[in-house]
Amino acid sequence: MNIELYMHALAGRVKMKLIAYDDIKNNEEIRVYIQKSDVVLGLMGYTEHAFDHVGKVARAAAYILQEFGYSEREAELARIAGFMHDIGNIVNRDGHAQSGALVAFNILTRLGMEAAEIAHVVAAIGNHDEGNGLPVNSISAALTLADKSDVRRSRVRNKDFATFDIHDRVNYAVEESKPACSSTFTDIAIDSLCNKQFESAIH
């Protein structure tokens, strides 16, 4: 069964509704996947990717879109994408953006989110890794910026300086950080990160 048929089949059983950030943040299934993902990453020596990280990313992604004049609903979808963006680590660190998008697609569909909104969120999650993703919409661009802005020493779990990887070194060098928007940044950031062809194609 292809994705379109799957969504139509589920739509017949699940009433479409407006899903709020609080619905996602308080969802037990999502919280378990995030917590277990962070345990796996901790065993691999990666920086913290638990609720501190996803909460900060959710708030920062929404803040960026609000500062740029996007609608409150788009900011809410950015919060949702931010909270769920690393959920794919429960599958594997490699390709976690794409596997996370599929996990999110399944959950959001079962929760009854509208298909058009699911498309925005899963595209953002699936493209948030700069290694193989692109900022395909405004939410995606904001999510990528927010994710990379969460740089802080408290995320580092590795205690051996000699074995620090690039993530450890960057995070250890910063005690705290937060995104800051300016008019100059507004002129270049979203427009340069978010290809308008993708933007118009999914609206």
Q: Is residue 10 part of a domain?
A: no
Q: Hey, is 37 helix, strand or coil? A: helix
Rounded mean pLDDT of 61-79? Answer: 96
pLDDT of 1-50, one tens digit each? Answer: 456 555 555 555 566 789 999 999 999 999 999 999 888 887 877 766 78
Confidence of residue 202 (pLDDT cuts 50, 70, 90): very low
- The predicted structure's pLDDT at residue 188: 43
Q: Is residue 144 part of a domain?
A: yes
pTM, full prediction? 0.75
Q: Is residue 66 part of a domain?
A: yes
d(CA 186, CA 188): 6
- 9 to 5, 14, 120: CA distances (angstroms): 6, 9, 20
Confidence of residue 192 (pLDDT cuts 50, 70, 90): very low
Nearest 5°: the CA angle 129, 181, 191 is: 60
Q: Total structural domains in the chain?
A: 1
Q: Cβ contacts of residue 78 below 8 Å, gap of 6+?
A: 58, 61, 62, 64, 65, 124, 139, 142, 143, 146
Give the HSE-up count for residue 180: Cα atoms under 13 Å, Cβ half-sphere: 3
**The total number of residues written for the chain in this structure:** 203
Q: Is residue 54 part of a domain?
A: yes
Residue 60 has pLDDT above 50, yes or no: yes
Rounded mean pLDDT of 173-179? Answer: 64
CA 12 to chain centre: 28
Q: Is residue 193 part of a domain?
A: yes
Q: Hey, is 59 helix, strand or coil? A: helix
CATH of the domain at 156: 1.10.3210.10
Q: Is residue 34 part of a domain?
A: yes
- The predicted structure's pLDDT at residue 142: 95
Give the domain extent around 112: 19-202
Confidence of residue 178 (pLDDT cuts 50, 70, 90): low
- Name the token pair of 7: 């969504």
Which residues, in sequence order, are bridge partners of residue 17? 113
pLDDT of 103-154, one tens digit each? Answer: 999 999 999 999 999 999 999 999 988 778 888 999 999 999 998 877 665 5
Q: Is residue 191 part of a domain?
A: yes
| Higher pLDDT, residue 189 or 102 | 102
Q: Is residue 165 part of a domain?
A: yes
Give the HSE-up count for residue 16: Cα atoms under 13 Å, Cβ half-sphere: 10
- The predicted structure's pLDDT at residue 65: 96
For 97-157, the three-class secondary structure string (H helix, E strand, C coil) is HHHHHHHHHHHHHHHCECHHHHHHHHHHHHCCCCCCCCCCCHHHHHHHHHHHHCCCHHHCC
pLDDT of 157-171, one tens digit each? Answer: 556 555 666 665 555
